[in-house]
Chain A
Amino acid sequence: MLGRLGELFALLGLAAATAGGVTGFVAGRTGSHALLRVTQRLSSAFSSAMFAAFLVMEYALFTHDFSVKYVSKVGSLASPTHITLVSLWSSLEGSILLWGAVLGAFVAVFAAWSRDRHPETTPWALGTMLWVCAFFAFLIAGPANPFTPAPDPVPTDGPGPNPLLQNHWLMIVHPPMLYLGYVGMTGPFGMAIGALISGRLGPAWTQALRKAILVPWGFLTVGIILGGWWAYDVLGWGGYWAWDPVENASFLPWLTATAALHAAMLPSRRDTMKGWTVTLVLVTFLLTLLGTFMTRSGVFNSVHSFTQSEIGPIFLVFLAICLVACVLLLASRIDKLAGEGEAPAPVSRESSFLVNNLLLVALTFTVLVGTTFPLIMEAAKDVRLSVGEPYFNRVAMPIGVALLFLMGVGPALPWGEPGPGRLVRALGPPTGAALAALGVGWALGVDTPWTMATMATGGFASWVTVREMVAPVLLRVREKGESPVVALGRAFRRGHRRYGGYLVHVGIIMIIVAIAVSHAYRKDVEVTLAAGEATTFGDYRFTFDEIDTVRESHRQRQEAVVSVEGPGGPFTLRPALNHYSAAMNAIGSPSVKSMLRRDVYASVLSIAPDERQVGLHLYLTPGVIWLWIGGAVCVLGTLVALMPPPQKRAEAA
């Protein structure tokens, strides 16, 4: 019954999106205002239908309606309510449904924003988005239909979602964040296509485009960092990033979106780079599709892959159509867009934006080649090989350091053509900061070349970034005689986009340095301890006290109580093995004590049947917490950048 209802909403969504795609394009072609209104109504219909379908599924899960096949697949009477609600996105069909709902939300926001703006571009943009919506609604109504009835007889209970997904609260937050990021890129994609077809990319549209990229970019950043955090807190190998195809799939659009955000800053200042910006936006969207394909086609080997599914080929057809259409559209329309800008001077700030884009695109290309290379070789030569961490680290590290360097040098460089004196004055003090950072690193025992390079460029970039935030305040204090607090408030309000951007830079600097340090100086050891026995590792002494068994409704948890003495201690770690009824093997969950300087991390390898002996894997990882702090700073920066400008807030009030 519920299944039929959900299916009906999915079909309604499909009909609305398809019709809206058609009317949108016709409205764009004819300039008909009436048709644009129809398109907007249809987009609302799509959004409502998707949201309704989503609610139906949540209700079915909540009421344990096992007559719906998807519920019988991921639901379980034993699961706690919050697990039941989030199990909607624990498997393929449900995740596509969530995708549709999020898509509905984004389209609704765009439709509301564009209601009375840019009548030449909006119909094309909205039409494009609705075509994408139509595809996903088609998946939900057809090949990935989560509402199909369960086979007769209706089961009385289900296995519950994948135990790995039940293990941590982050699994509740991480996938929706990633989807908000992935799906949100449909917005800028539609806007870029609109700009291409209509040939109009003015400052207002560019600014809106930038905001439309920034929102999903923020979600994607959070999604990626939470994914790393989840891996770190759940998988128990002391790492947070494995260059797994699915991780790469989320990283690729993030890279190009970052490039697009920077490229989009140029046209608003100088009339260059329009075509390039649009290209980057299209590529970002295509990469989100590619990422989704990677996760769901079963073609790639990955820890995170959904199991083999039939939607792979359908998805590939859609991806291929989008790829070819984008290339054709770009080739035929890009020249209409290119502004008559001037070329930047060799060491000016524009050039540093160009180099930034070059580095980000080069990294994107490298990660893409590395990720698909095993497939290429298999297709071309029938050879199986792996491309993993050693390769990616080798290529990504220099590019990361170069980006960090640019993050420092870029803002320090003046716009236009600088003279040598200005250059020295601009770059001198931060160079001092770089040397200072190097000194601090050396004192802390940093001795590998890449880590040293990261510390130095990080110091340089930090100085420049902080100076960029402080300088306007000082200027106001000196020239307008304002008190520092007032000056800070006003400078912040006037230049919130700038402040947001620099805050994100601070976050990224933290993240890159944390990655370099934690990667180079991680130490680990495997030990077997009897109850009461202790071992010394690094500056710490670990004692295994006992096994503490906790029974929960959906699992049984064997916690190894390990007391730790050392800097920042004493404290207790409780790494555990979780036994789920659905899983054959126990799933470990590590225990971490995060401190500013280092994390002490333990995971259980084995527990003797009599519980008197435990095998532990102990890790000491420096600086990992700065990854999460950096992530939080990035979010803060994104929010600041998205704040409505002061005059608008005044209007609203």
Chain B
Amino acid sequence: MNWKVLLAGLVLVLPLVWVLGSGFGNDPTYIPSPLIGKPAPEFELPVLDGDGQTVRLSSLQGKPVFVNFWATWCGTCGVEHPSLIALAKRYEGRAQFIGIAYLDKEDNLRAWLKSHGGMHFPSLIDVGSAAAVAYGVGRLPESYLIDQSGVIREKYFGAIDPYKVIEDLEALW
């Protein structure tokens, strides 16, 4: 037995197997957001069909804000939309739900919303995609929960789990 070869081989091989094995069960597209616990980036964006009105995030402070980045070209966005509507209704007056449409056209947005149960909370238009970049949006849909003092508490990847959102929201009061 050549002990040098054995040792060198095992030193190379065992960590490799461990590393490869540890990757299972992790979703390689899930990237924890560095913004959690930080003040939410401020934005001021025009409202879809809002006659030129804008919404400023800081004007909403005092209530939890749930920001959902979406687009009509994103398939999963249609899947989660009913949950969002239900949540917006459930927390009406207590928390503010906002959609931010990313890389999309107003006509498409209108048509899409019409065929997906109508507009139950305002959708803003991310002009120049600056908000999406500031929030670190990668693969749509992604959502953020901002607490009463304007701090990001949670980021949701893909279609939201409404029960998780309820749990997180309730924890804020």
Contacts and interface: CB of A to CB of B under 8 A. Distances in A.
B171 interface: no
Contact of A293 (B18, B20, B31): B20
Nearest to A327: B9
B2 A299 contact: no
B23 A378 contact: yes
Interface string A361-384: 000000000001001101100001
Given A297-B24, A331-B2, A316 B31 contact: no
Interface string A584-615: 11000000000000000000000000000000
Interface string B117-132: 0000000000000000
Given A331-B5, A375-B20, 5 more contacts: A323-B17, A327-B5, A328-B6, A332-B1, A379-B23
Interface in A324-340: 324, 326-328, 330-332, 334-335
B29 interface: yes
Given A316-B20, A327-B13, A378-B22, A298 B5 contact: no
A432 B100 CA distance: 64
Interface string A264-298: 00000000000000000000000000100100011
Interface string A282-320: 000000001001000111110000000000110010011
Interface of A: 290, 293, 297-301, 312-313, 316, 319-320, 323-324, 326-328, 330-332, 334-335, 372, 375-376, 378-379, 384, 584-585
A564 to B, nearest CB: 30
Nearest 10 pairs of A and B residues by beta carbon: A327-B9, A299-B23, A331-B6, A379-B22, A301-B28, A331-B5, A323-B13, A320-B17, A331-B2, A384-B31
Contacts, number: 72
B163 interface: no
A330 B2 CA distance: 8
A299 to B, nearest CB: 3
A299 B24 contact: yes
A301 B10 CA distance: 27
A584 B73 contact: yes
Interface string B124-152: 00000000000000000000000000000
Contacts of A335: 2
A454 B78 CA distance: 53
A332 B2 CA distance: 6
10 contacts: A297-B20, A297-B24, A300-B23, A301-B28, A312-B24, A316-B21, A330-B9, A331-B6, A331-B9, A375-B23
A282 B29 CA distance: 33
A327 B5 CA distance: 8
B28 A323 contact: no
A165 B145 CA distance: 39
- Most B CB contacts (10 A, CB to CB) among A328, A378, A379 go to A379
Given A298-B28, A300-B23, A378-B22, A327 B17 contact: no
Interface string B44-79: 000000000000000000000000000001010000
A376 B19 contact: yes
Contact of A301 (B21, B22, B29): B29
A323 B3 CA distance: 17
A255 to B, nearest CB: 16
A300 B20 CA distance: 9
Contacts of A316: 17, 20-21, 24
A384 B32 contact: yes
